[in-house]
Amino acid sequence: MKEISCMLLVIGAGPGGYVCAIRAGQLGVDTVIVEVGKPGGTCLNVGCIPSKAMIHAAEEFEKVSHMAGGTSPLGISAAAPVVDLGKTVAWKDGIVSRLTSGVAGLLKKAKVKTVHGWATLRDGKTVAVETETGTQIIRAETVVIATGSASVELPFLPFGGPVISSTEALALSEVPKKLAVVGGGYIGLELGMAFAKMGAAVTVVEALPRVLAQYDVELTRPVVKRLGQLGVEVMLGAKAKGVKGDALLVETADGKNAKIAADKILVTVGRKPVTEGWGLDQIDLDMAGKFIKIDDQCRTSMRGIYAIGDVTGEPMLAHRAMAQGEMVAEIVAGHKRSWDKRSIPAVCFTDPELVTAGLTPDEAKALGEIKIGQFPFSANGRAMTKLGEDGFVRVVARADNHLVLGIQAVGQGVSELAAAFGLALEMGARLEDIAGTIHAHPTQGEGFQEAALKALGHALHI
């Protein structure tokens, strides 16, 4: 097979990789991208997009269930719903297919050559790709490593049989009657709550003293309350020990052994960078723990090799990878760029949703005196009309000059406020900027303005 030479080679077509390749192609850089699966990586194929599709389906099912049960305050009644999970998964797969096809089309439009297969580095400028038709050698002036991450597998709970990762959970043909979730982080709770809404009896096993430990207690309180309403049993300070028959073996917080009956055991204890199997041992890169070490331009310790996305560390978020990919493409094309982002908003799609951007109150207090403004959705008209009164918006700012340092929210649909939060921080907004901006009424976004007003000492609606 004839060798390929190019200016830029991107290994991995996840969010970071494909954005890097598309932008490089737009800038006239001769670019090749290698991917063993479909474009879009974990996020598009078995992560962000399909999970949100399933979460939405679960929300719709629960709404109709309340109407059938006569518990809806809206005065709407309906027949008892039935979920055909196979059909739901097919709908989800259709969305994924449309998006992956779209990414492939964008790569082609940008004149990026796509090579399908598993890439292995031979040295810092040469890659061998095992394709369906044989080994393809690619030589490049610059290489971008965008190999992503994978679900962490516990040695005593290996994937297979009843033990599944989020990938298998999103492809189930029927709702499990009993689901055990090992790990009370955002992935476990997002999927656990979705299956609970569709009728599964869900038990969450978390080794730490509380779920969603990366968020502060006040922010997660509405989610914990909702878990109880959905009938989700949460075992805190408990450690999964293995599986026996149709049960998960657990050591409880008080040191006792327990069995949790489960048709499926969903393990969501985190993700790890994919650093094996593609030739990392053939090059000499400095590492930052288990991640590839990079500088503020995503350069590794080897000249001509960049790394982006989950393989470079936390936060392991698709939008971080995309921003890194765009930046690297422009650097390769000769532009002056460096990483100077003020915040990377993070969203947890539980019920209710969580959004964080910038510093938490505790992180901000460590820097000096601060002001905090918090506005509850129980005082927001739009939230009331959506039956979404549980939650709030919180703004954290410096006390001396009112520079906004962080913004958090919990509530129904608050994920859509992430853009406003990120923009405010990126633009260096002060409390007066947010308070003085007219926010459309009636919207939940008014809570953002009201929180700033509260921090200034003159809230209008509380």
The separation between CA 330 and the C-alpha centre of its own chain, rounded to angstroms, equals: 25
How many angstroms separate the Cα of 266 from the Cα of each of 188, 215, 231, 311?
A: 8, 22, 17, 24
Q: Where in the chain is the domain with CATH 3.30.390.30?
A: 346-456
- Are residues 80 and 25 in contact, defined by beta-carbon separation less than 8 angstroms? no
The three-state secondary structure class of 113 is strand
Separation of alpha carbons 136 and 198, rounded Å: 47
Does the pLDDT at position 21 exceed 80? yes
Q: What is the pLDDT of residue 49?
A: 97
Q: pLDDT digits over 397-431, tens only?
A: 999 999 999 999 999 999 999 999 999 999 999 99
Q: What are phi and psi of 262, to 5 degrees?
A: -155, 130
Provide the pLDDT for residue 333.
98
Kindly report, residue by residue over 349-406, the tens digit of the pLDDT. Answer: 999 999 999 999 999 999 999 999 999 999 999 999 999 999 999 999 999 999 999 9
> Helix, strand, or coil here: 257?
strand
> Which of the listed CATH numbers 3.50.50.60, 2.40.50.100, 3.10.105.10, 1.10.10.10 matches domain 4-46+89-151+272-332?
3.50.50.60
**CA distances, 418 to each of 343, 354, 410 (Å):** 11, 10, 11
CA dihedral for 88, 413, 219, 434, sign (positive or negative): positive
The rounded distance, in Å, linking the Cα atoms of 64 and 199 is: 13
Q: What is the CA radius of gyration of the chain?
A: 24
| CATH topology classification for 346-456 | Enolase-like; domain 1 (3.30.390)
Hey, is 70 helix, strand or coil?
Answer: coil
pLDDT digits (tens, 9 = 90+) for 41-89: 999 999 999 999 999 999 999 999 999 988 889 999 999 999 999 999 9
Looking at every residue in the chain, the average pLDDT score rounds to: 97
* CA 25 vs CA 29, 69, 133, 239: distances in Å: 5, 55, 26, 49
Q: Start-end ranges of CATH 3.50.50.60 in the chain?
A: 4-46+89-151+272-332, 163-269
Q: Give, to the nearest 10 degrees, the angle between helix 318-332 and helix 15-26.
A: 30
Return the pLDDT at 68. 93
Q: 269: burial class by Cβ within 10 Å (0-12, 13-18, 19+)? A: buried
Q: Dihedrals φ, ψ of 446, to 5°?
A: -60, -25
**Is the per-residue pLDDT at 1 higher than 80?**
no
Task: Confirm whether 441 is a catalytic residue.
Answer: yes
pTM listed for this prediction: 0.96
What share of the chain in percent tops pLDDT 90?
98
Pull the structure tokens for residue 262: 């489960």
Q: Which of 66, 439, 441, 461 is catalytic?
A: 441
CATH number, domain 163-269, options 3.40.1670.10, 3.50.50.60, 1.20.1440.230, 3.30.70.100: 3.50.50.60
Per DSSP, helices labelled H in 151-278 are 166-169, 186-197, 217-229
pLDDT (mean) for 443-454: 98
